Structure 1
């Protein structure tokens, strides 16, 4: 079904569907799975993966490592190249794989027709490279858990934060957590006297439900685009904290049918290139969010039950936040990648 994953990347521009296969590793872990889940060591999680997830120049599209623990527990580490697919497609593949293991007959089939909607473009004039954003600075990853009660409090605070008539009365849990974390990043920058002209929050937005008509989640590929929320350091602030929630919601709402038309005709590339040049000048403090909270990762069942915990790993990118659902489904885990020197200030 997912035959392109057995191919190889050629010239960093296309996939040769040569059926060369995927990387599959079995590993014995001399530990108890419960200990890893109870107190996850962020620096150790990459050992459960078959390849370095941010390795540049790796031709393999899919790498899987099955980890067998001494207690009998099993952890499956999956790496899928972002050059060919996004998180939605990754989870679709994993669920289809699990359904096959269970012996299911009716499995939702992927389709690979996104190029008809979003034709390939000549990127020779653009300076995008696979390692854009990777920093050599010391990055640490911290996991912050927002349970149901904490989320309710954050949503209430976020809804009441603005006093200019632009209140968001019904913030989602992702909006509330994103606003909270973004303001934390702003506070860290200000405490360091790191003067910036602009603070920018970037959200990865799935385009599938925003096309007309909406696309199926089985549409395989990179069907997402970033939204950009801007806060000027010269803007009005309340008690030193800007009202970020309406700005966040407005930026995401702009990823609509009109924007998708720009993506289809290639106009967005010029805007993206200008944005990158602006970011590289250093006058902007970026905070990048990717929400996996709606991915059906806790529905994955290979035949021995659903997972007790699903997680990501550390990333060598500054100010990158991955939002995931908690196992019970009513909380959010925020995996925050930031400079080591900023962690203590962020937690205070």
Structure 2
């Protein structure tokens, strides 16, 4: 049944909501699991939605029609929610510290868009056109929402919005891969599904409410995004350059730097240079790097562990002498080493709260002036999510939050490099995208 139509005049663009329904777990959740307590790390996260959309071409890999694909994917979602039972639950209020898991279900919207898939394939999270591809009926108490988008070319966009309080990007990646695996093999009991089963942390009951998360308002204006692709051959050259710089100076040598380390260093250095050139003087800058810490525990956690298992590395650059590539890489490595040896989730939460206190009190004024966030999705399984009609040709992960400048890194679909989405103020971007050193390592793929 047709529920509604959105017509965007001027662009002659038609976006039609075909159906809206609630998908419930295929098997009821046992009464012993009706309450899912948020961990001490989950309780430090603001209530936002992490939104992922995967784009699939109609390339003839499947004999199923668009209608049949939608039917199969809804059926497997119902089966998957039996394992990921908190995802079908609700928060009683936006500040409660537990999820009530009584099979309320997941909102599932199906939509038809008259534009081509390629129009959205490299879209920025800053583009308002992205919003129409995600479910619009989530009120903050929903844990997960899904929207299936059918494009004019026959391709499909599978969009998932997950409450950040239930998990991070790794949690979302594990869920969609499990869901895809169930779709491919038609049964949650298939042996190919079992290794992807979720791992839940048992968290104690608390009578408190989740604290309000302080958001720093940076006050950036005219933010724009550009995509830059860095082939692996060029990243190897960049690694060699970093190693050579470190070996020629008084700093300790750098061995085997990763692609993410050297590319983050290059982007951060270039962005600082652009801001300095615009203003005419260097100002202290800060690099923030969210980091998955599942493998930083003394007893490592499975990658399928559900929850917010992350921390933030902070690399301050207070002087121009510290803005060299090899110096930034060395600082990133030092910050990474400090995350090792986590004893427990509570230990990780205490460390994170200490960092938030420091940033909120001592350095918030400087941080608000010039800070960059670099989120790396390299190695995340988004490009491998196969529902039975092939791997996605593109993926966009968006976390709608306060305005921010920085970089989002992800593997190219062919695995032969890294695609970096760079978000800067307009004047800075005009300088950034013409930097000769940065351009020597990449090919530009503009939005």
The 8 Å contact of residues 109 and 148 in structure 2, kept in 1 or not, is answered as yes
Q: Quick one: distance in 2 between partners of 1:221 and 1:237?
A: 35
DSSP-derived class of the 2:228 partner: strand
Match of 1:50 among 135, 141, 145: 135
Larger Cα-atom Rg = 2
Gaps of 5+ in 1: none
- Say if 2:146 is the partner of 1:64: yes
Q: In the alignment, which of 136, 161, 165 is matched to residue 83 of structure 1? A: 165
| 1:189 corresponds to | 275
Match of 1:21 in 2: 105
Cα RMSD of the aligned pairs, angstroms, is 3.0
Structure 2 residue aligned with 1:7, among 47, 67, 89? 89
Aligned pairs (5 A) from 1:184-333: 184-193=270-279, 198-233=284-319, 235=321, 243-257=327-341, 263-264=347-348, 266-282=350-366, 285-313=370-398, 317-333=403-419
In structure 2, distance between residues paired with 1:236 and 1:136: 25
Shifted more, 181-190 versus 133-142: the winner is 133-142
Q: Secondary structure in 2 aligned to 1:303?
A: coil
Contact in 1 for aligned 2:284/2:366 (Cα 8 Å)? no
2:330 aligned counterpart, secondary structure: helix
Deviation digits for residues 216-254 of structure 1 (CA, Å, limit 9, x no counterpart): 01110000011111222264666xx78211011111111
1:13 CA displacement: 3.4
Residues 262 and 22 of structure 1: CA distance in aligned 2, closer, same or farther (over 3 Å):
closer
Alignment match of 1:153 (pick from 232, 237, 244): 237
Asked if residue 144 in structure 1 is aligned to residue 206 in structure 2, the reply is no
What TM-score, normalized to structure 1?
Answer: 0.86
8 Å Cα contact 2:278/2:428 also seen in 1: no
Alpha-carbon deviation of 1:182? Answer: 0.8
Are residues 111 and 261 of structure 1, via their aligned partners in 2, closer, same or farther at CA, if it must alter by over 3 Å?
A: closer
Give the equivalent residue in structure 2 for 1:169.
255
**Equivalenced residues, count:** 338
3-state SS, counterpart of residue 213 of structure 2: coil
Query: Which range moved further: 260-269 or 199-208?
Result: 260-269
Where 1:311 maps in the other structure, the secondary structure is: strand
User: CA distance change for structure 1 residues 79 and 11 in 2, over 3 Å: closer, same or farther?
Assistant: closer
Name the SS for the 2:413 alignment partner: coil
CA contact (8 A) 1:143 1:336 kept: yes
Preserved CA contact (<8 Å) 1:201 1:248: no
- Aligned in 2, Cα 1:208/1:184: closer, same or farther, shift over 3 Å? same
Counterpart CA distance in 1 for 2:421 and 2:391 is 22
User: Over residues 53-107 of structure 1, what are the superposed CA-to-partner deviations in whole Å (9 max), with x where a residue is unaligned?
Assistant: xx9x633221211111122111112211212110111011001111111114232
> Which secondary structure does the structure 2 equivalent of 1:250 belong to?
helix
Q: Equivalent residue of 2:420, what SS?
A: strand
Q: Contact 2:297 / 2:342 at 8 angstroms: preserved in 1?
A: no
Query: Which whole-Å CA distance do the structure 2 matches of 1:87 and 1:249 have between them?
Result: 22
Residue 344, structure 1, aligned to residue 344, structure 2: no
Deviation, 1:121, is 10
